[in-house]
Amino acid sequence: MERINFDDERDKITKLSRKDFVASNLTDSFEDDFYVNPLFNKAEQIGEIDGYSVFFNPRGFYFYWNKETEYLLESWLTFPAYPYGW
């Protein structure tokens, strides 16, 4: 099992470009309303992907969700730590 060096992970915030940083902590999955609905709490729309909204939540993450396919992209700015408030 590979060990994570948390200092290296933290350094990615300042050393990587925005695009590379997003790629390093973006996760995708298929999630239903039960999982996704709480993500909308205090979230605001910041853009779109193929006509579907992208949201930012001040708890430390942004996400895209396609309700028809239940496809979710999410990126926690606190990665690899637990999400803010856990």
CA distances from 7 to 1, 3, 20, 51, 83 (A): 18, 12, 17, 37, 17
d(CA 16, CA 5): 16
Domain segments of the chain: what residues?
6-76
Identify which has the larger pLDDT, 20 or 80: 20
What pLDDT does residue 85 have?
52
Q: Encode pLDDT of 22-53 as tens digits.
A: 777 788 999 999 999 999 999 999 999 889 99
pTM: 0.68
Q: What is the pLDDT of residue 82?
A: 54
Query: Is it the case that residue 1 has pLDDT exceeding 80?
Result: no
